[in-house]
Every structure is written in structure tokens, then in C-alpha cells.
């Protein structure tokens, strides 16, 4: 009798970062001249047991302080890129410098709360994981239709918390599995 053992197919592998983060890391989404509140976003990628994932890659895409994406009529022109990419360090974290995004126009004339679109790639992840970072305590969160799609008990997994020691720093934990798994979206 033959024993068939499942094996992973086309995983990202250990060489994910070659050409993407080694030479093309983008830690700043907004230049010094960009309008808006300057913030630092620290991501911590954790596995199902809460251990850090040292070889993940995070990509961000966000609107400027007026809610415009870089491909729209942004008032910040070249000083606002709106895109970032970093690898996680041995402790599973990486930090981006940007500005706090504004509210974004949503479907049907609605307004979406300030948020950052997040993609996670890494070893063993067959297709990118997509989620959003919202800012805890933002009043606009209550009216955001996308956030409202998420069961109330799971919404905290999408909220970055402000660092008490440095209020311009926000911390966002991405849990890949387990009890407090981050909500991921099919896009």
C-alpha cells in the first residue's frame, strides 16, 4: 500500500524577499512635505501560537490626509506615495512612516473611515492575505460599511492601538491563525 503525504504546492518559499525587500523596501509612504498628521505604523506578524514570523512581507496602500489615493487628484503630488513595502525582522515586526489617512469615498455615496489596506505575504502563504488597519477610537469607524460587515466580536482584530509612550506610533498585530486571528478579506 502506498502512503500519500500531502505536500505544499507553489508556496512563496524562503526567497520571497529577493528583489522585493532587500533592494526595494519602501518604509516611507509620505515625504516630509506631505500634508497631515505624521504617524508610524508598527506591524507585528504572529503565527497561531503567538510566535513572531520573521520572514513575512507587508505591503501597504493608503489614501492621503484628504482621502485621495496617489493615482487620484492628491494635493500632495510627489510628496505622497501612498505605498510601502517592508520585510519583518527577527521579532516579526516592521515600522512604516506615513501620514494618517483621511476618510475615503465609498460605494453609493458613503464614506469609509480612515484605514490602510494591508497585504501579507510569506513562506507557506499560497496567496496574499488582505486586511485593513483601522485606527482605534476613530469616530468614523462606527459608520464604515466595510467594518460593519465584520462581526462585532472580530472587529478588534482590525484596530491598531496607539502606543501610550509615543502617541504618534500605532501598533497593529497581524495574527495569521488561532483564537484572535486577524480578519482577512477576499479581494
For 60-114, how does the pLDDT look when each residue is reduced to its tens digit (9 = 90+)? 999 999 999 986 555 555 689 999 999 999 999 999 999 999 999 998 899 999 9
pLDDT class of 10 with cuts at 50, 70, 90: very low
> What is the distance, to the nearest Å, from the Cα of residue 164 to the centroid of all Cα atoms in its chain?
21
pLDDT at 171 over 90: yes
pLDDT at 150: 97
* Cβ neighbours of residue 86 closer than 8 Å, sequence gap 6 or more: 21, 25, 26, 27, 43, 57, 58, 94, 95, 96
Topology classification of domain 38-175: Protocatechuate 3,4-Dioxygenase, subunit A (2.60.130)
Which cell goes with 69? 489615493
Distance CA 131, CA 123 (A): 18
CA nearest neighbour of 69 among 39, 101, 34: 101
pTM (two decimals): 0.87
Hunting for cell 497561531 — which residue is that? Answer: 48
pLDDT class of 142 with cuts at 50, 70, 90: very high
Residue pair 8/55 in contact by the 8 Å Cβ criterion: no
Calculate mean pLDDT across residues 2-15: 54
- Give the strand pairing for 169-175 and 159-162: antiparallel
- Please state the φ and ψ torsions of residue 133, each to the nearest 5 degrees: -105, 120
pLDDT at 8 over 80: no
Distance CA 187, CA 184 (A): 9
Q: Which of 31-40, 53-62, 64-73 has the lowest mean pLDDT?
A: 64-73
Amino acid at each position: 500500500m502506498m502512503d500519500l503525504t500531502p505536500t505544499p504546492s507553489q508556496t512563496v518559499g524562503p526567497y520571497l524577499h529577493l528583489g522585493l525587500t532587500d533592494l526595494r523596501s519602501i518604509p516611507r509612504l509620505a515625504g516630509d512635505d506631505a500634508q497631515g498628521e505624521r504617524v508610524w505604523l508598527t506591524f507585528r506578524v504572529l503565527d497561531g501560537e503567538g510566535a513572531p514570523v520573521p520572514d513575512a512581507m507587508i505591503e501597504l496602500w493608503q489614501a492621503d490626509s484628504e482621502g485621495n489615493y496617489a493615482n487620484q487628484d492628491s494635493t500632495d503630488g510627489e510628496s505622497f506615495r501612498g505605498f510601502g513595502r517592508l520585510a519583518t525582522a527577527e521579532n516579526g515586526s516592521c515600522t512604516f512612516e506615513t501620514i494618517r489617512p483621511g476618510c475615503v469615498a465609498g460605494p453609493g455615496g458613503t464614506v469609509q473611515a480612515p484605514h490602510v489596506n494591508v497585504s501579507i505575504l510569506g513562506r507557506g502563504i499560497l496567496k496574499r492575505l488582505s486586511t485593513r488597519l483601522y485606527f482605534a477610537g476613530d469616530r468614523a469607524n462606527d459608520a464604515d460599511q466595510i467594518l460593519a460587515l465584520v462581526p462585532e466580536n472580530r472587529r478588534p482584530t482590525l484596530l491598531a492601538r496607539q502606543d501610550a509612550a509615543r502617541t504618534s506610533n500605532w501598533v497593529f498585530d497581524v495574527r495569521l491563525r488561532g483564537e484572535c486571528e486577524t480578519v482577512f478579506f477576499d479581494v
